[in-house]
A and B are shown apart, each in its own frame.
Chain A
Amino acid sequence: MIKSPLKVMDKENIRRAISRIAHEILEKNKGTKDLCMIGIRTRGAVLAERIKESIKQIEGVEIPSGILDITLYRDDLTLVATQPVVHETKISFDITDKKIILVDDVLFTGRTIRAALDAIIDFGRPASIQLAVLIDRGHRELPIRADYVGKNIPTSLNQVVEVILKESDNKADMVKIEDRDE
């Protein structure tokens, strides 16, 4: 178990992890044919854009990307006191028969990914969906696993994993773990 608060990744670690994930995606899929990225709002979308940029540098090919808002597919909508704010989903390409790389920042219970899978299926029938995450912190509640992982971090349930990215948070890239206040 990691003592907290602790910085587990800095800017350089994150850059290398993204670069490695980009290479792994290209290797596993044998190039960029039919590949497209879908990032889960907000930080998944930022990471998807970075992986896309990295792939462009490696292969010289720009693959399509989109943003997914999973609010309407959450399984806890009837449990929260007031409805969470809904944001727009932006997927401007046809996903049918495409190989989708779904991107999120932290993989935890797996419920967000379950919601995202349902949402993607409503847009069409992709050839496959692969999952890329920056952090896998364990504690899955559903049978879901990631195909590409930036870093595996063992955590306890009362810890919070915080991912900070320049594009969404206006601060230098960082991943840190903190104990919850309560």
Chain B
Amino acid sequence: MAEWTKHSLLDLKSLSVEEIEMVLETAKSFKEVSARDVKKVPALRGKTVVMLFFEPSTRTRTSFELAAKRLSADTINIAASSSALSKGETILDMAKNIEAMNVDAIIVRHSCSGVPLILADNLSASIINAGDGCREHPTQALLDMFTINEKLGRIKGLNVSIVGDISNSRVARSNIWGLTKLGANVTVCGPSTMIPFGIEKLGVKVSYDIDAVIPESDVLMLLRIQKERQNDKNLPSIREYAKTFGVDNERLKRAKREVLIMHPGPTNRGVELSAEVADGEYSVILNQVTNGVAIRMAVLYLLLGIREPVTV
């Protein structure tokens, strides 16, 4: 197996196929740790991980915190609302101050694309991108790929359709980078106002008709309609989106027998998918959440192991 050399995880755009496969392979071992009675191993004992979330999050933050704790690292949570940012401090100053307390990794989420890159350029701690604007959300895509591989046994050659607001979705971008690198055929589908111009250059097909996409798909990845990122020009109404693109049992009748229904969460039941589909036999939404902890353990383990070689 190749050697891991990355110090930070900023995006899947810059990861090689071997590196992606290495994370997925390492995560398999960590999944077993979370299934034990004592869900803790001493691998990262003495390491400190700070979580800097400038956007609301339950799943990702909890998942990262559990991952760090199950590896015996110490974690600190900083919520933007209660931080010194409200006193006018810049993000970079704040991060540098945190680093000055000798932390090993900073996990960051921010509504602006590129914030993790700025931190990585200026700090020596490992930076993990937990979602930046509409750019990337690498650990989400890694856990999605892990789940697909676990359920279907492969990724290469599968038809994966990502449905929803592609323009605003960092999950879609990370998945496009990752899945195309591993040889999947990716189609993005949604209203034309939500598909960015020129997205074909990333190696994906574009469709505006979900009923044409469903019969072909091995995986249907449904994205949340992000109400906080919409202006009124993208959609006439949420109800219209639900009617034209929402996946319900009626639409799924034309799907493949082993189709996987995935969603990065949080779900809007009755919008991008119906409640019976979210809870139905094809849904792997909760498996994704379980696998998220294993993926984040693998990422922390690999990143925090990198240091200068010791000369003995």
Binding site for B on A (CB under 8 A): 69, 71-73, 77-83, 85-90, 118-119, 122-124
Contact = CB atoms under 8 A, between A and B. Distances in A.
Interface class of chain B by DSSP: loop
Interface stretch (B12-20, B39-47, B140-148, B272-280): B39-47
Interface string B26-50: 1011101100111011110010000
A78 B46 contact: yes
B306 interface: yes
Contact of A83 (B38, B40, B41, B305): B305
B301 interface: yes
Contacts of A82: 3-5, 305-306
A88 B301 contact: no
Given A72-B42, A123-B37, A124-B37, A86 B29 contact: yes
Interface string B109-148: 0000000000000000000000000000000000000000
Contacts of B5: 82
Interface in B156-173: none
Given A81-B308, A81-B310, A88 B41 contact: no
Contacts of A81: 306-310
Interface of B: 1, 3-5, 25-26, 28-30, 32-33, 36-38, 40-43, 46, 71, 301-302, 304-310
Contacts of A118: 42
Contacts of A79: 310
B42 A69 contact: no
B1 A122 contact: no
A85 B32 contact: no
A88 B42 contact: no
A79 B310 CA distance: 7
A88 B32 contact: yes
B308 A86 contact: no
Nearest to B29: A86
Q: Which of A80, A87, A122, A123 has the most CB atoms of chain B within a 10 A radius of its CB?
A: A122
10 contacts: A72-B301, A77-B43, A80-B310, A82-B306, A86-B30, A87-B29, A122-B36, A122-B40, A122-B41, A123-B36
Nearest to A74: B43
B169 to A, nearest CB: 31
Given A73-B42, A123-B36, A123-B38, A88 B310 contact: no
A159 B43 CA distance: 29
B29 A89 contact: yes
A69 B304 CA distance: 20
A107 to B, nearest CB: 22
A107 B146 CA distance: 37
Contacts of A86: 26, 29-30, 301
A48 B310 CA distance: 35
B38 to A, nearest CB: 4
A125 to B, nearest CB: 11
